[in-house]
Amino acid sequence: MLVVGLGASGVAAADALLDAGVAVTMVDDRDDHPAVADLRARGIEVATGVAPVERLDGHDLVVPSPGVPEHAPVLRAAAERGIPVWSEPELGARRHPRRLLAVTGTNGKTSVTELLAAMLATGGLDARPCGNIGTPFTTAAAAAPGDAVLVAELSSFQLRFVERLRPEVGVLLNLAADHLDWHPTMAAYGEAKARLWHAQQPGDWAVVNAADATTRSLASRFAPAGRAAFDGTGAVVGVGVGVAGPALVAATPAFEGPLVRLDELALAAPHHRANVAAAATAALLAGVDPAAVAEAARRFHPGRHRLELVAERGGVRFVDDSKATNVHAAAAALRSAERIVWIAGGLAKGVDLGALGAHLDAVRAAVLIGTAAEELAEVCAAAGVPARIAASIEDAVTSAAALARPGDTVLLAPACASFDQFSGYAQRGERFAAAVRALPPATATTGGTGASR
């Protein structure tokens, strides 16, 4: 069996194959990977510094790491030769079948997965969050007892190559332009996400966003199971959880009625209400007691770098939403405050950033960083938003603080990936927070010129 990539997902796949008594070859085009010696000591053949397609001969299964795009030569060659390609979660689902709830979407996957696992745990179930959220799916499946429930965050990269992975509840949160450097088209991206439901059977549930026509359309085309919906702004029609008056309200086969008051949730932002509604829908359909669902919803605070308040200085709020790595997420963040000095930029991943121009009504000024800074400057100019380009995140914070006035929010919502300047969105957020903490006390209160919006 050929495993492509020496990251955590690849190592988990190799371990599962070794446990099954299968000979494993791992290949990576990097020639300096630190895990090579350990992998070889475990009996794995490792080839580094070579193109994976060069090692395809003699193998009857390919397990690619998520970073290997579907158009990669090794995957094209495997398809031409009729060699199956399984993602690491597909391998885990086949090796260790477990009760499974799964979450995917362009934005909100991690928060919803965390919250859904918390709802199950509050309801007394042995919930095991896994997938992109931390522990590889295969590792979690192998370690979990038979009565555990896997709660998996799954990416389009992983779902593209599943066949038998079967969640009893599969949640598709939203779909917006992203990862078009990996998927050939938006249609292909959507269809990869929809494979979440490919192996579902009657009695299973496909959960979609009532406010997102694309997810509803994908469910109608690809979901063989029952359908439910969630909504963070209004009521749902049929099965699901939505908003009615001051509360989230459920309508599921096992429970109908108010679930939790909106003012009991940690954030008032519409996308947070939608995330809670999505997790609650899935939890109720999985049989969790409504009181446990409501208790977990009240206690839940989104993770780091998700509209995280870093500091408030002289009436100016500094908010870290470094996790907003695409247009859809940044647009949601830009609706979270009435007056914003916006810090954005990074690696655009092949996505047209022009759509952000329709979401800048609250933006008084922008400070732009990274590879996409020039493109975002054009977007801002077209919308009449004053913008300047900064050489670093530290320079951006200093500039934004000088522009900000009491009542403003300095918002890091990059709309881009971070890998042109940082190791990941977390490092970008930490650098932002450190720069905010390093500001002189009066810096954020001086206001700015040329930013009259």
For residue 96, how many C-alpha atoms fall within 13 Å in the half-sphere facing its CB?
A: 24
The CATH number of the domain holding residue 71 is 3.40.50.720
Whether 253 and 372 share a structural domain: no
The whole domain housing 7 covers: 2-85
- The answer on whether 107 is annotated among ligand-binding residues is yes
Structure tokens at 51: 């193109």
Q: What is the C-alpha separation between 285 and 254, in angstroms, rounded? A: 8
Work out the average pLDDT over 122-151: 95
| Residue 453 belongs to a domain | no
Structure tokens at 97: 């079948």
| Residue 118 belongs to a domain | yes
Helix (H) or strand (E) holding 259: strand 256-261
Beta carbons of 372 and 416 less than 8 angstroms apart: yes
Indicate the residue among 70, 85, 100 that finishes a domain: 85
Closest CA to 251 of 281, 279, 272, 224: 281
Closest CA to 401 of 451, 442, 453: 442
3-state helix, strand, coil in the chain (%, to 5): 35, 20, 40
| Residue 109 belongs to a domain | yes
- The answer on whether 105 is annotated among ligand-binding residues is yes
Beta carbons of 319 and 337 less than 8 angstroms apart: yes
Beta carbons of 404 and 314 less than 8 angstroms apart: no
- The answer on whether 135 is annotated among ligand-binding residues is no
Whether 136 and 268 share a structural domain: yes
The CATH number of the domain holding residue 342 is 3.90.190.20
Report the pLDDT value the prediction gives residue 176, as an integer from 0 to 100: 77
Structure tokens at 43: 């009996």
Mean pLDDT, the chain, as a whole number?
91
Report the pLDDT value the prediction gives residue 446, as an integer from 0 to 100: 35
- The answer on whether 111 is annotated among ligand-binding residues is yes
Residues 307-330 pLDDT 10s: 889 999 989 999 999 999 989 889
pTM: 0.76
| Residue 452 belongs to a domain | no
270-285 and 109-122 helices, crossing angle to 10°: 50
Q: What is the C-alpha separation between 283 and 276, in angstroms, rounded? A: 10
Indicate the residue among 65, 85, 105 that finishes a domain: 85
Residue in the structure block whose two tokens are 């839940």: 300
- The answer on whether 371 is annotated among ligand-binding residues is no
Residues 273-303 pLDDT 10s: 999 999 999 999 999 999 999 999 999 988 7
Give the model's confidence band at 183: pLDDT under 50 very low, under 70 low, under 90 confident, else very high.
low
Q: What is the C-alpha separation between 306 and 320, in angstroms, rounded? A: 6
The CATH number of the domain holding residue 183 is 3.40.1190.10
Helices (H), 184-246: 186-194, 213-222
Q: What is the C-alpha separation between 68 and 5, in angstroms, rounded? A: 8
Number of helices and strands (H, E) in the chain? 15, 19
Work out the average pLDDT over 149-172: 96
Report the pLDDT value the prediction gives residue 332, as an integer from 0 to 100: 86
Whether 401 and 315 share a structural domain: yes
Whether 47 and 19 share a structural domain: yes
Query: pLDDT higher for 451 or 293?
Result: 293
Work out the average pLDDT over 335-347: 94
Beta carbons of 110 and 159 less than 8 angstroms apart: no
Q: How far does CA 218 lie from the centroid of its chain? A: 19
